[in-house]
């Protein structure tokens, strides 16, 4: 979902600066809604009715609704097919906002069942207790006016508004995170994905209805009405069920990802005003190459047997309703973000709202990947720069610990932009091949299921063969980001670095990273990596030629503040009048490295992989050999420490 921010709405219209990166959360973004939801959660936790909903597993919903584009009035029925998880289930409990009236509940054989309302919950006495794995089948008839409030202009659970730009009057749903119950009787549980959903909406014949899955039929309903019948047979979470009604023109296209032999329908419902299409044609048409590119990166579009598409609604942002995104504003970045959610959020859904960064952080980072692979290097730089700058706007962890606060769940700075920035750091640490392998495997292993931050952490460790717990502790659970003060100086063939790290938001959270530098000399450019995880580290390495410039992290991998400058006073390392006269050779090396230590000072030798993990450690007082026979072929960093300071650092290549 893209989060609404009034100041940034105009910026969404421009791709060049990619301000689509500040996301909007649409529906419950006001204090009144927050307070009401907090009270609901509290009530459910104390009266244990929520626990009773966990006694059954939803298998199927069929929504039969009467809707018009002119109001939010709703009526109809919802058939629920569920399977008991316990023996002796005698009460069927579901959520429905108190504004909506339950007319009746019928069993599968049309026996009327007794219903008791408990504010936003309904308790239905079953004809007889269900045993474990036994199915129950009920039909809930209801009607009413869904709740509205200050946020109705951008979307409650159910909203009605005319587009200020194009004039179309639209009625639309937007349920994330806790608002599905505001417009239909349901069970709001992330862990209980619905196996399949049918949505039938009767409306005036001047209207079209956008929803999930495939449009199976449009049938006359009499009295100037017709019924749109949509069906999706992919598992889906409650908050992704959607219905949108208005006057639309349909535009179709087809994507052809190379992973399958067939085409994928892209079905767009665009406001019937011709300007709505002409003004947004380039972004609408970008969906095809985006879908094909993301299929290359993450595996084929998860719902390829049905469709993908957009339905317009007058709110400032987007919402990734499964197979048909609701979209208020078109631009390249928003289209990319919401499409990416079909993988990150819809196919694999966060296990809890604390893990929402897995959905939003990945979708935000996909805006950068989309710019990189489908536009220009300049656009890609603008996108990632904007993400990282916006990540600095709020204090806190990417991982959300207060899921009663909807504004915190969808924090633009933390959930979206710092989440996306953290994903970029992980990409840097893993490298292209492993990063995309992790995410493709994530899509396969957790397809149509849920995943937690811990699940993702364990997957990264498993596939990489390395322990990245430190990354998750520092970047996901930890607060803040690093500020580096970097000084360098050249003396003869020796290049010195002094790197100080601080974290203004959490002084103790100093991150461990191999820091990338491009050293420019009169002989050309060389990329070096200096391992840094302390408040201060000192480094010394040999360099050929005269250094004319040093760039720090020129590809903007790391969320950070920094300063870098040449410092003529840096002419040695802590406590040493001069460097130790260290040199290491050969490079590349086969089985042994030779260390020359001209000063014969006691030093500690560490050989680390490119992710900072120490693989070999040894102490030496003088010149000697270092066995590397047990290291696999690859690139490593050798560090020489004098006391607590790194006095020498060099990249080495092992080739057996």
- Please write the tens of the pLDDT for every residue from 568-587: 888 764 433 334 567 788 88
Find the mean pLDDT for residues 476-503.
95
CB of 211 closer than 8 Å to CB of 243: yes
Which helix H or strand E contains 143, and what residues bound it? strand 135-144
Q: Residue 643's pLDDT band (boundaries 50, 70, 90)? A: low
CB of 288 closer than 8 Å to CB of 253: yes
CB of 170 closer than 8 Å to CB of 248: no
CB of 91 closer than 8 Å to CB of 51: no
CB of 151 closer than 8 Å to CB of 115: no
State yes or no: pLDDT of 520 exceeds 90: yes
d(CA 226, CA 224): 7
**CB half-sphere exposure, 315, CA atoms < 13 A:** 35
Find the mean pLDDT for residues 479-503.
95
State yes or no: pLDDT of 35 exceeds 70: no
State yes or no: pLDDT of 23 exceeds 60: no
Contacts of 427-431 with CB under 8 Å at 24 or more apart are 427/365, 427/557, 428/557, 428/558, 429/468, 429/471, 429/513, 429/611, 430/460, 430/464
The larger pLDDT score, comparing residue 357 to residue 24, is at 357
CB of 530 closer than 8 Å to CB of 537: yes
CB of 16 closer than 8 Å to CB of 379: yes
Distances (CA, A) of 551 to 20, 513, 528, 554: 29, 16, 10, 6
Share of the chain above pLDDT 70, in %: 88
Superfamily of domain 480-656: Aminopeptidase N, middle-beta domain (2.60.40.1840)
Identical fold between 43-339 and 480-656? yes
d(CA 131, CA 112): 21
**Pairing status of strand 348-350 against strand 449-451:** parallel
pLDDT given for residue 44 in this prediction: 41
**φ, ψ dihedrals at 440, nearest 5°:** -70, -40
CA 397 centroid distance within chain: 15
pLDDT given for residue 599 in this prediction: 66
Q: Residue 48's pLDDT band (boundaries 50, 70, 90)? A: confident
Give the E-state strand segments of 421-460 in sequence order: 449-451
Fold classification of 43-339 (topology level): Immunoglobulin-like (2.60.40)
Place of tokens 């020129």: 554
pLDDT given for residue 154 in this prediction: 36
State yes or no: pLDDT of 5 exceeds 60: no
Closest CA relative to residue 556, chosen from 637, 481, 609, 652 = 481
Place of tokens 């322990």: 467
Write down the domain spans for the chain: 43-339, 480-656
pLDDT given for residue 156 in this prediction: 76
CA 526 centroid distance within chain: 34
DSSP states of 300-333 as a string? Answer: S-TTTTS-EEEEE-SSSSEE--TTSEEESS--HH
The larger pLDDT score, comparing residue 45 to residue 379, is at 379
CB of 232 closer than 8 Å to CB of 304: no
Q: Give me 628's structure tokens.
A: 């590397």
Contacts of 10-18 with CB under 8 Å at 24 or more apart are 12/316, 12/329, 12/331, 12/333, 12/334, 13/329, 13/331, 14/331, 15/331, 15/332, 15/333, 15/375, 15/379, 16/379, 16/382, 17/382, 17/386, 18/333, 18/367, 18/371, 18/379, 18/382, 18/383, 18/386
Least confident of 277-291, 445-459, 630-644: 630-644
Which helix H or strand E contains 31, and what residues bound it? helix 31-47
CA 426 centroid distance within chain: 13
CB of 535 closer than 8 Å to CB of 499: no
d(CA 630, CA 632): 6
pLDDT given for residue 645 in this prediction: 56
- Please write the tens of the pLDDT for every residue from 354-381: 999 999 999 999 999 999 999 999 999 9
pLDDT given for residue 216 in this prediction: 98
pLDDT given for residue 622 in this prediction: 67
The larger pLDDT score, comparing residue 329 to residue 644, is at 329
- Please write the tens of the pLDDT for every residue from 384-399: 999 999 999 999 999 9
Closest CA relative to residue 67, chosen from 79, 59, 76 = 76
Mean pLDDT, all residues of the chain:
89
Place of tokens 């966990």: 54
The larger pLDDT score, comparing residue 574 to residue 27, is at 574
Closest CA relative to residue 179, chosen from 367, 452, 6, 410 = 410
pLDDT given for residue 11 in this prediction: 29
Q: Residue 20's pLDDT band (boundaries 50, 70, 90)? A: very low
- Please write the tens of the pLDDT for every residue from 422-472: 999 999 999 999 999 999 999 999 999 999 999 999 999 999 999 999 999
CB of 361 closer than 8 Å to CB of 419: yes
Find the mean pLDDT for residues 154-168.
87
Find the mean pLDDT for residues 275-284.
97
| Whole-angstrom Cα Rg for the chain | 29
The larger pLDDT score, comparing residue 499 to residue 650, is at 499
d(CA 57, CA 507): 46
d(CA 388, CA 361): 12
Closest CA relative to residue 28, chosen from 244, 203, 198, 176 = 176
State yes or no: pLDDT of 164 exceeds 80: yes
State yes or no: pLDDT of 132 exceeds 50: yes
pLDDT given for residue 608 in this prediction: 85
Q: Give me 650's structure tokens.
A: 């060099």
What contacts 151, CB < 8 A, 6 or more positions away?
Answer: 27, 28, 29, 30, 32, 33
Share of the chain above pLDDT 90, in %: 76
Q: Residue 542's pLDDT band (boundaries 50, 70, 90)? A: confident
State yes or no: pLDDT of 404 exceeds 80: yes
pLDDT given for residue 291 in this prediction: 98
d(CA 15, CA 386): 12
State yes or no: pLDDT of 615 exceeds 70: yes
Q: Give me 377's structure tokens.
A: 């290097």
State yes or no: pLDDT of 245 exceeds 90: yes
Measured on CA atoms in the order 612, 614, 618, 619, is the torsion positive or negative?
positive
Give the residues across from 649 on adjacent strands: 639
């Amino acid at each position: 979902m893209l989060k609404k921010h009034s100041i940034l709405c105009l910026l969404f219209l421009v791709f060049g600066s990619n301000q689509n990166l500040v996301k909007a959360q649409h529906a419950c973004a006001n204090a009144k809604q927050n307070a009401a939801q907090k009270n609901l959660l509290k009530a459910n936790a104390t009266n244990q009715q929520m626990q009773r909903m966990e006694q059954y597993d939803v298998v199927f919903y069929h929504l039969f609704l009467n809707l018009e584009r002119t109001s939010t009035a709703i009526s109809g029925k919802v058939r629920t097919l569920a399977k008991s998880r316990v023996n002796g289930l005698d009460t069927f409990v579901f959520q429905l906002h108190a504004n909506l009236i339950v007319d009746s509940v019928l069993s599968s054989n049309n026996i009327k069942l007794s219903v008791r309302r408990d504010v936003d919950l309904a308790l239905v006495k079953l004809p007889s207790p269900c045993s474990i794995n036994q199915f129950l089948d009920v039909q809930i008839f209801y009607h009413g006016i869904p709740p509205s409030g200050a946020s109705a202009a951008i979307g409650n659970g159910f909203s009605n508004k005319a587009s200020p730009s194009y004039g179309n009057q639209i009625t639309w749903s937007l349920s994330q995170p806790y608002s599905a119950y505001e417009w239909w009787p349901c069970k709001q549980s992330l862990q209980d994905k619905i196996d399949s959903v049918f949505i039938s909406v009767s409306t005036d014949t001047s209207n079209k209805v956008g929803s999930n899955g495939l449009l199976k039929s449009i049938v006359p309903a009499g009295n100037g009405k017709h019924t749109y019948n949509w069906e999706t047979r992919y598992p889906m979470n409650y908050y992704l069920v959607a219905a949108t009604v208005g006057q639309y023109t349909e535009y179709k296209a087809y994507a052809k990802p190379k992973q399958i032999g067939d085409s994928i329908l892209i079905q767009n419902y665009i406001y019937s005003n011709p300007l709505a299409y002409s003004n947004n044609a380039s972004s609408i048409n970008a969906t095809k190459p985006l879908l094909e590119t993301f299929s290359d990166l993450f595996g084929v579009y998860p719902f390829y047997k049905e469709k993908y598409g957009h339905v317009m609604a007058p709110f400032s942002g987007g919402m990734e309703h499964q197979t048909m995104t609701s979209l208020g504003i078109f631009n390249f970045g928003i289209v990319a973000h919401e499409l990416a959610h079909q993988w990150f959020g819809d196919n694999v859904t966060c296990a809890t709202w604390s893990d929402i960064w897995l959905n939003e952080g990945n979708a935000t980072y996909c805006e950068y990947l989309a710019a990189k692979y489908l536009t220009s290097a300049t656009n890609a730089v603008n996108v990632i720069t904007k993400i990282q700058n916006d990540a600095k706007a709020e204090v806190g962890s990417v991982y959300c610990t207060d899921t009663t606060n909807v504004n915190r769940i969808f924090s633009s700075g933390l959930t979206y932009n710092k989440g996306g920035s953290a994903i970029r750091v992980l990409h840097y640490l893993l490298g292209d091949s492993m990063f995309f392998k992790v995410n493709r495997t994530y899509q396969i292993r957790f397809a149509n299921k849920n995943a937690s931050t811990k699940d993702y952490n364990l997957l990264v460790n498993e596939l990489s063969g390395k322990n990245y717990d430190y990354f998750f502790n520092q970047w996901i659970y930890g607060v803040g980001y690093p500020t580096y003060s970097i000084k360098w100086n050249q003396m003869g063939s020796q290049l010195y670095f002094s790197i100080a790290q601080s974290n203004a938001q959490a002084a103790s959270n100093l991150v461990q990273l191999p820091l990338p530098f491009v050293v420019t000399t009169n002989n050309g450019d060389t990329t070096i990596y200096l391992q840094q995880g302390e408040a201060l580290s000192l480094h010394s390495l040999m360099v050929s030629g005269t250094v004319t410039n040093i760039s720090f992290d020129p590809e903007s991998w790391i969320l950070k503040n920094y300063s870098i400058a040449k410092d003529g006073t840096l002419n040695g390392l802590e406590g040493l009048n001069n460097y130790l006269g260290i040199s290491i050779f050969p490079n590349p090396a086969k089985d042994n490295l030779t260390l020359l230590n001209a000063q014969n000072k006691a030093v500690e030798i560490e050989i680390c992989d490119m992710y900072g993990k120490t693989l070999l450690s040894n102490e030496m007082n003088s010149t000697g050999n270092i066995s590397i026979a047990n290291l696999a072929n690859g690139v490593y960093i050798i560090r020489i420490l004098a006391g607590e300071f790194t006095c020498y650092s060099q990249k080495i290549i092992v080739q057996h």
